Structure 1
Amino acid sequence: MGVGMQITYLGFAGSAPIEAEAGMQLVRLERFREYLAGCHLTVEAIRNGLFHGKPASLLYDARLDLITRTDDLIAVEHCLNENLGIALRAAFDAAERRLEQALRRPRR
């Protein structure tokens, strides 16, 4: 059984291309399927007055909460970017790093 994902959109309506990109990124977490039960992806559109000192109409915040098979929650860092695809990829990069760290730690 694969890793399941729920997606929540805040501040904008989701779309099929966003879900397709998220699904492609989720494949990267399949190697952790013995450890992961699922994940929640939240993508938020943030209207911000300034970004790097210049006017920015929209930023995207992508973040993942990972649920382990033992019902533990691993919150992954927020990834903010003007480009939604970059924010999504960065969130899954961060998730991979967190999972690799979690699996290296000795169990108690």
Structure 2
Amino acid sequence: MGIGMQIVYLGCSATAQLEAEAVAQLLRLQRFGALLSNFHLAIEALRLRSGTPLYDVRLDLVTQTNELQPIGRYAAENAEEAVRCAFDAAEKTLRNAARSPVRQR
């Protein structure tokens, strides 16, 4: 079974292009399935005084033991770009986790 993803849109609606980007990024990280069970992705459109939208994207990883690991917040004028940045950070985090030796308790 693959990794799941929950997406929440705040102040904006889902578009086919944005959904496709999120799915493409999810598929890119499927190789880390042994470490994860789910992603929580929040995409929020913020309205700047200039009238230009700014998209704030937050990504959390849910581990196999149901622990929540926040990745961070990424903002861009383009929602797809902000999603890519969040998933790039997640990939870096997961690569480091995969290299780390397992801690014994």
CA deviation map 1:7-44 (0-9, x unaligned): 00011121222111100111111010011101011000
CA contact (8 A) 2:60 2:72 kept: no
**Whole-angstrom CA distance in 1 between matches of 2:78 and 2:100:** 34
- Give the TM-score, by structure 2 length: 0.90
- Tell me the TM-score normalized by structure 1: 0.87
Is this contact kept in 1: 2:8–2:41, CA < 8 A?
Answer: yes
- For 1:1-108, list aligned pairs within 5 A: 1-49=1-49, 55-108=50-103
Q: Structure 1: which 4+ aligned runs deviate by more than 4 Å? A: none
Give 1:85 shift.
1.4
Per the alignment, residue 52 of structure 1 pairs with none
Cα distance in 2 for partners of 1:33, 1:6 equals 16
Q: C-alpha displacement at 1:73, in angstroms?
A: 1.2
1:61/1:47 Cα in 2 relative to 1: closer, same or farther (>3 Å)? same
Counting aligned pairs with the same residue, the percent is 50
| Local SS of the residue matching 1:8 | strand
**What amino acid is the match of 1:45?**
A
Q: Take 1:76 and 1:85, find their aligned partners in 2: how far apart are those partners?
A: 17
Uncovered stretches (5+) of structure 2, i.e. residues with no partner: none
